[in-house]
Chain A
Amino acid sequence: MEYTVGSIAPIFLAPVLAFIINAFFGRKLPRQGDWLATLSIFISFIFSARIFSDFVFGKFATDFYVHKTFTWFDLSHASAVWKVDMGIYLDNMAAIMLLMVSGIAFLIHLFSTWYMDHDEKHGRFFVFLPLFTSAMLGMVLSDNLFSLFIFWEIMGFCSYSLIGIYNKKEKAGDASLKAFMTTRVGDVFLLLGIVALWMVLGSVTYVDIYAAIAEGKFAGQTVMGISFATFTALCIFLGAMGKSAQFPLHVWLPDAMMGPTPGSALIHAATMVTAGVWVTLRMYPLMVLGDITWFIAVIGAITAFGAATIATVQTDIKAVLAYSTLSQLGYMIMGVGVGSYNAAFMHVITHAVFKACLFLSAGSIIHTVHEQEMPKLGGLRKYMPYTHFAMMACTLAIAGIPFFSGFVSKDRILGDALYFGFMAGQNPMLAIVPILGFAGAGLTAFYMFRMMFLTFYGENRMHHDSHGHGHGHKDAHGHESHGHEIHQEHLDVRQNVPLLLLSIFTLGFWFAGTLTGQSFGKVFGKKVEWFKVLVEAPRVEQFVGHNRQPWGSVDSRDKTELPHAHYHHQSGYAGPNPDDHKIHKAHTIGAIASIIIAFSGVFLAFLMYIQHTVKPWADTFSGITTTLQNKYYFDKFYIDVLIKKGLLGLNRGLAWFDMGVYDRFAVDGWAAVNRVLFTASRWFDNVVIDAIGVDGTGVAVNLFNLVLRIVQSGKIQFYFIMLIMVLVSYIWTLKF
């Protein structure tokens, strides 16, 4: 098996090429080049699938990685060597991530060709979609934090463009601005962290950072009074919080649904938001070293629970999904924090599959009925059986119903959280993490089934509305409302096949499945889950003294060259845990608890929205509901208080000071001083000198007077000509 750059780079380059072609010639291509974009992602997918199969079916040892670098630019000069290398780092996690991103992005592209048909923004949409995907793929392939940051920001730009694509709407502008700026808050800290790591360690390549951790290079370093490891870990995590929309930088994500629904699917599932989790996972050893995992866990838990509560009162189907994304991202981040490395990454993958499918299903509904307010929907099951099937599968997955993918990953995170909060001997306050986690899980089951029941079950409520006014105004993708006749859904390749394909992968089997391939069998002597074998926190010692491969090299190491591959079931980062039996116990309790909680959530939703035996929240607790509908007033606080009163007030004050005070008095004040001098000298000239009659002095002052008068009267032209004449004549006389 050989790995050259040529076998990896097309994953990234194919969509880039599609972006360039569509950006320049998209309008001239048939269908504005949407097929080209889709095809390019399919090429990425083929290459990713090949790599994935190599990794999964045991071509290599489990700790195999490809690391190739080239020099981007070089600032070395005579006495110092400093250059910036870029490279590809391909390991098990990257292989899995690439397959997920390219696969889901391909289906989203395919769906979009149906969804964006006849949309005025069709062409522009297919410019940014492949760029977005390529940036994510590039980020996954990155071997260092700097190129990660580059792709990270390009994704930010793409999301900005996709969210604001319907630029006629003022709200789209607000939402895109909010998305870019909120993530930017995190981004500048990420950049700061990267800069700090780079300058202190001399490199921001992952393997170098791992090696530096193993070699103890962080020891004893401080930045502004806190330990260097904590400082950099916090900076990087703040970046992740912005991108992955963690509390309190979560406000942008729900607004991000202003864009077309498939764009939301891409932002919420395969790209963008998972980037934050990705960097947290990549830098996990640093998070542990900096001792901020408890902070990560708490932030994740707050996000997971808080967003779930808000989701319970949303009426817009996309808003429910947006808050569910927030909540699930909270679980991922919480998973990293509680040391559930493997499950957190698995949740990235499982969530990407079902969330992409959920958003595409929502898109399918919106595009068909031109309505996204759930109270106006209902009973769609009859009309849209395929969409219903796919969405139900995903809802079962996200709600954590056994045998579905969400159960597998989320349950493991919760089990580890239980251990982390109650049994690991941590600060008792941290018990809040599993408590919020489990509560959020119950709410998830509740709000997701609430959405399903309101949308697909009961009576269809659309016909009850008067036909006159259009529902199209709520429709995020700018279509005119075509009346309310709902057409029976027929199996459409571009509309339904992506949904159905994705819904297949909501089964837990795919992720918790075991492989009996001879390779794994030989190495481990027993059946093990492929995901557990492939994904584990980086063991930093392994990277000391590593060799990177030159760009053009052919990589064909196979597993025999790395005989020490071994398998840990490790829950935390710190190697085999002595508390294994406790962890096992926590997982058993967690599993039982989460099943009970999930089913009670579903049951509650059933009672409220099918049986109508329990009143919905809104009727019972109006105060809480109002708070939730206002999203805990975070948006209001940020915009009205922090930005409008605080930042803009400060800016206006400074700008007024700059021109109105500083420039007016301190700078232009010199003119006044001049004027005083001028008057004084004239007085001196007229009164004192003339009176005394000392001619010589009088001439000098007169000259001074003249210059001042010229400056005062603005006749600089004259002055200048004088100056030049004097200069020229002076030079002239000197020369001869």
Chain B
Amino acid sequence: MSGILNWVLWLPIIGMVGVLLTPKENEKAIKLVTLVTTAITLLLTIVLYLKFDTNTPDMQFVFKIPWIAQFNINYSLGIDGITLPMTFLNALLFFICTLSSWTVHKSPKGYFALLLMLQSTVFGVFFSLDFFLFYVYWEVMLLPMFFLIGIWGGENREYAAIKFFLYTFFGSIFMLVGIIALYYASGAGPESFNILAHQGGKFVNETLTIFGHTISFEKTMFWFMFLGFAIKVPVFPFHTWLPHAHVQAPTAVSVILAGVLLKMGTYGFLRIAFPIFPAAAVEYSTIIAVLGLISVIYGAFCAMAQDDVKKLVAYSSVSHMGFVMLGLSAMTVQGMNGAVLQMFNHGTSTAMMFLLIGILYERSHHRWIVKPDGSKGFGGLYTKLPKYSVVFIIGMFASLGLPGLSGFISEALIFLGIYQRFTTITVIAVVGLLIGAAYLLWMFKRMFFGEVNPECEEYEDMDNREVFYMLPLCACVIFFGIFPAPLLNVMKASVGQLVDLLAKFQV
């Protein structure tokens, strides 16, 4: 079974080759190749889920061969309970994005090839158990993203693409320094690029000497890694690339960006920053919690002021990822599980929001709730687009954490988690829940209620293709809202192991 991860990882690349071999003029064939590839990948991840042993916290489906033996670099893959939900999410969202990109007619060959490449690199980040491999995937992932935003994006796409690229790159340089430092700190031996081998607080007593000052290796490197991951999440104050990137990116790329790419940041904390530097993580958890709290509140406040729907949802991502950071900083069973669950749930609900905005944009060609001249951008969509409205309501209420839909359980778990460590922060964070409902419902009220705006008269309701690709997400949001156990059972052993590790370093 160990080869299955290779299939999941390389299938999109095979698909990409297939797309590249298809003649440019044959748009339909290009799209079909992409669709079939993503569909098979999705099926494979379901096989992964079925074969997955939920009782063990260890890596499963491990595949390891030497890659660059001189530097102890291995091609080493594996997944555990934290990555499995992300894997499924990644496969699902790319399948859906392919369907939603059916309307892309601007050089589709390049677009779908890059999309498939992006999928493979994201899988690579989640599967890699080798630091070098991880870093390669982490960096290469920027390439398709950069072109997808920079070529298929909106008016200001180049600025957004460069900003996205440079900002993330800036963070990953620090990460690279951390990786190299770890390599030498662990003796440059055969396990020195092995992520798992570093875990467990092995560097607590290491020191660094810089310009004659002796400083803690663990704490310094924790912040290096922190910077790399926090920019990706993004945590306040590193969040400003996100609204630009989202507003300019084409729909599918926004979905992927919010749905899985942001989760790579929090995944980095879960896999690297926390388990490798547990003492520093515990020591600085208050700072992480405060930054998470600021992200929650600040993101929500900024979201409320937006007149552009997509920007509003982009800021809501900042706010919701802040909850994940809060859950991580809790370092308790409830908080950590809640955070991982929130990573998945935010992936589905925010993907719904971005897809829905994309659907609307294809009809309206603008995204203004209130146009710059002060007139209403939309109005009466409820009357005009009944099917669309129902799906929108499901996505919106899942986003704002209505019980019965998926977002609630993860948020509740996160609150239960942080209350044990940071009571005051919990009390302030509930404001985020309040504002979180306010901006979404206010937006909904302004766009969907009232008489039908004359501009909206010609809009058509969702067609079958659009309904078809929204259905799996609706199903996820409702099913995991009522039965979270299938997801929590998968993750709890791995998350529990991390919680136990961190607990050892708590005073």
Contacts and interface: CB of A to CB of B under 8 A. Distances in A.
Given A77-B493, A655-B302, A662-B240, A173 B445 contact: yes
Contacts of B412: 146, 191, 195
B57 A184 contact: no
Given A173-B449, A191-B412, A650-B301, A77 B240 contact: no
Contacts of A169: 449-450
Interface stretch (B348-356, B424-432, B458-466): B424-432
A652 interface: yes
Nearest to B393: A161
Contacts of A176: 445
What does DSSP make chain A's interface, helix, strand, loop or mixed? helix
Instruction: Give the interface centre of B57, B404, B451, B484 by most chain A CB atoms within 10 Å.
Output: B404
Interface of B: 57, 68, 70-71, 136, 139-140, 142-143, 146-147, 158, 161-163, 165-167, 237, 240-241, 243-244, 298, 301-302, 304-306, 333-334, 337, 380, 382-383, 397, 402-404, 408, 412, 415-416, 419-420, 423-424, 426-427, 430-431, 433-434, 437-438, 441-442, 445, 448-452, 484-485, 488-489, 492-493, 495-497, 499-500
What does DSSP make chain B's interface, helix, strand, loop or mixed? helix
9 contacts: A75-B337, A77-B333, A153-B408, A170-B450, A173-B449, A651-B305, A724-B140, A734-B68, A735-B68
A150 B162 contact: no
B402 A154 contact: yes
A80 B333 contact: yes
A648 interface: yes
A652 B305 CA distance: 5
B427 A73 contact: no
A655 B484 CA distance: 35
A703 interface: no
A167 B381 CA distance: 9
Nearest to A197: B419
Contact of A734 (B71, B166, B240, B334): B71
Contacts of A621: none
Contacts of B136: 727
Contacts of B427: 192, 224
Nearest to A190: B430
A159 to B, nearest CB: 13
A173 B68 CA distance: 63
A123 B136 CA distance: 55
A153 B403 contact: yes
A-B complex: 7 closest residue pairs judged by Cβ atoms: A77-B496, A173-B449, A655-B305, A150-B403, A651-B305, A663-B240, A167-B382
Given A77-B57, A654-B298, A199 B420 contact: yes
Given A181-B437, A654-B298, A174 B165 contact: no
Given A720-B143, A731-B68, A224 B419 contact: no
A172 interface: yes
A167 B383 contact: yes
Contacts of B147: 717
A716 interface: yes
Contacts of B416: 195, 198-199
A580 interface: no
A654 B294 CA distance: 12
A672 interface: no
Contacts of A157: 397, 402, 404
Interface in A40-74: 72-74
Contacts of A172: 449
B494 to A, nearest CB: 9
B461 to A, nearest CB: 14
A658 interface: yes
Nearest to B481: A150
Contacts of A174: 445
B450 A168 contact: yes
A180 interface: yes
A80 B420 CA distance: 15
A177 interface: yes
Contacts of B423: 196, 223-224
Contacts of B430: 188-189, 191-192
A154 B433 contact: no
Interface string A627-669: 0000000000000000000011011101110110011001110
Nearest to A165: B382
B403 A154 contact: yes
A668 B302 CA distance: 19
Contacts of B495: 77
Interface in A554-600: none
A185 interface: yes
A709 to B, nearest CB: 14
A76 interface: yes
B403 A149 contact: yes
B382 A72 contact: no
Contact of B419 (A196, A651, A731): A196
Contacts of A151: 403
A648 B143 contact: no
A172 to B, nearest CB: 7
A172 B380 CA distance: 12
Contacts of A191: 412, 415, 430, 433
Contacts of B163: 667-668
A444 B496 CA distance: 59
Contact of B158 (A199, A714, A724): A714
Contacts of A76: 492, 496
Contacts of A26: none
A79 B304 contact: no
A406 interface: no
Interface in A500-521: none
Contacts of B431: 188
A378 B499 CA distance: 71
Contacts of A80: 333, 496, 499-500
A75 B493 CA distance: 8
Contacts of A195: 412, 415-416, 419, 426
Given A75-B488, A167-B382, A180 B424 contact: no
A224 B441 CA distance: 32
Contacts of B146: 716-717, 720
A164 interface: yes
Contacts of B167: 667
A146 B404 CA distance: 12
B243 A150 contact: no
Interface in A461-479: none
Contacts of B445: 173-174, 176-177
Given A82-B334, A173-B449, A180-B441, A77 B305 contact: no
Interface in A112-154: 146, 149-151, 153-154
Contact of B497 (A78, A652, A668, A720): A78
Interface in A684-727: 711, 714, 716-717, 720, 723-724, 727
B493 A78 contact: yes
Given A659-B240, A662-B237, A662-B240, A654 B301 contact: yes
A167 B350 CA distance: 25
A723 B424 CA distance: 47
A75 B492 contact: yes
A199 B302 contact: no
A314 B104 CA distance: 57
A78 B306 contact: no
Given A648-B304, A654-B302, A150 B404 contact: yes
B240 A658 contact: yes
B243 A659 contact: yes
A73 B485 contact: yes
Contact of B488 (A73, A185, A189): A73
Contact of B424 (A79, A82, A199, A224): A224
B286 to A, nearest CB: 16
Contacts of A224: 423-424, 427
B434 A188 contact: yes
Interface string A447-462: 0000000000000000
Contacts of B240: 658-659, 662-663, 667
